[in-house]
Amino acid sequence: MIIAIIRLLIVLGIMVLVHEFGHFAVAKLCGIRVETFSIGFGKRLFGFRRGDTDYRLSLLPLGGYVKMAGDNPGEAPTGDPGEFNAHPRWQRVLVALAGPVANFILALFIMTVVYMNHHETDAYLSGAARNDYTLVNTPAAKTGIHPGDTIVHYDNAENPDWETIVTQSLLNVGRTVPFSYTHDGQRFDTTILVAGTKDDAVNGDIPALLGHIGLAPRYQDAPVKVDRVTPDTPAAAAGLQPGDLIAGIDGISIHSVPALLAYLQDQNGKPSVLSLVRNGHTLQQPITPQKMPGGDGTTGYRLGFSYLRPPVKVDKLAFPAAVSEAWAYNLKNALLIKSVLKGLFQRRVSPAALSGPIGIGQQVDSAAKQGYWTLMELMAVISINLGIFNLLPIPILDGGMITFLAVESVIRRDINQQIKERVYQVAFVCLLIFAAMVIFNDISKLPGHLKL
């Protein structure tokens, strides 16, 4: 646990350092006097002073701040040209934007380095296009393709892999294309409607794109392996354990989680029986799915476990290709965060799905155990999260400051300082309540032996 805490503090420390440096650098460029550059909040532990700035490490390490002259709500201007409020509003907006932008740049840099050294793609994308499950009432179901069948022709591609099928699907959404597959050694030639939306492929959601068509790729020959079981879920109630192999469900062989999820949705939450392999012994375990939010911001029937990633292919990308892939990766995660936030406001996503410092610490620890490339990918995601969160139009956050400055620009005068101070006080209390809620969520998700 101590090692996990140290890892979390290092990761968050880097994120905060880059974020605050963004504010610091642009403030300096604009001629604003920076009084404090702090990693952490509260009591000063140690540091040094250079020029007008006190560089410090403070007691509470989950955060940080840059204190600029004259930027406190309720603080009256003194006429000092070095004060924050003495500068034009457009410069103050740039200072507020600089922190989140620095986080976005960091995420792009991290993923570019990762892809230049360790670009992972799922191995199933480049192999034979084998179907693991056919969704009911879909275009694929009408063709008669079965689980285990191999697609041998799609549109104008002979013997396509799944990557080719995804590409051709993107180019033919809403159209009917030639479609052939082999079943028990016999070839069947037919056609298939390419259902779905282009957004699925643009966002990189291959399971969703193929799910509209009705296909679930076979990721591997081995069963799905359970990595971690979430407390208070159907998987926990059924007694699933880390290391269990899910060989099938209701007599159907399963080799991927998307295929398992597709089957659960088709069954509309009906009780099922999992075929488990534990320590070499086969078990038949009854289980009843329940609707839960997933990591993609959607809600559906799930069991409540994480799984070991299927086989991957690793290569190294040239710098231009790495930048392009890094941009696409970060954009995909930014859009996912947007979907989750939208789902929260529409009450489609439960606040219980949010993670606080404990949940982030668990993710960091898990990623570190999988290797530093995985940890770097998670750092990029955290950096994007931090940047987007700070852009929300909430007082105290950067987005709140930008909102105030935008309103003042429209009304062409400053908002009353006392009003600002009251708004900041209310917002601070609301953020404390929000922080307490996510920490409570984190604690409630801990295994029983780790709860206080």
The domains found in the chain, sorted by start residue, are 2-117+378-450 (no CATH), 123-217 (2.30.42.10), 224-289 (2.30.42.10)
pLDDT score for 293? 78
Q: Which residue would you say has higher pLDDT here, 209 or 218?
A: 218
Cβ atoms of 141 and 135 within 8 Å: the answer is yes
Cβ atoms of 59 and 42 within 8 Å: the answer is yes
**What is the pLDDT of the chain when averaged over all its residues?**
86
pLDDT digits (tens, 9 = 90+) for 346-365: 765 566 667 777 778 888 88
- Please, which pLDDT band fits residue 450 given cuts at 50, 70 and 90? very low
Cβ atoms of 74 and 417 within 8 Å: the answer is yes
pLDDT digits (tens, 9 = 90+) for 73-87: 556 666 778 888 888
What Å distances lie between residue 253 and 134, 211, 220, 301, 311, CA to CA?
12, 18, 12, 19, 18
Percent of the chain residues topping a pLDDT of 70: 91
What Å distances lie between residue 261 and 115, 227, 256, 280, CA to CA?
30, 17, 9, 25
Query: Residue 30 — φ and ψ, nearest 5°?
Result: -85, 0
Strand pairing report for 224-229 and 186-193: unpaired
Site of tokens 């909430």: 394
Question: Distance between CA atoms of 71 and 85, rounded to whole angstroms?
Answer: 6
pLDDT of 302 over the 90 cut: yes
Question: Distance between CA atoms of 266 and 348, rounded to whole angstroms?
Answer: 20
pLDDT digits (tens, 9 = 90+) for 23-59: 999 999 999 999 999 988 888 999 999 988 999 988 8
What's the mean pLDDT in 178-191? 96
Site of tokens 């890892």: 7
Cβ atoms of 431 and 396 within 8 Å: the answer is yes
Question: Distance between CA atoms of 180 and 136, rounded to whole angstroms?
Answer: 19
pLDDT digits (tens, 9 = 90+) for 5-16: 888 888 888 888
pLDDT score for 319? 94
CB under 8 A, 24+ apart: contacts of 431-437: 431/394, 431/396, 435/356, 437/351, 437/354
Cβ atoms of 210 and 204 within 8 Å: the answer is no
b (16+ CB within 10 A) / e for 56-74: bebeebebbbbebbbbebe
Question: Distance between CA atoms of 18 and 66, rounded to whole angstroms?
Answer: 12
DSSP β-bridge partners for residue 34 = 68
pLDDT score for 445? 65
pLDDT score for 446? 65
pLDDT of 271 over the 90 cut: yes
Question: Distance between CA atoms of 399 and 161, rounded to whole angstroms?
Answer: 45
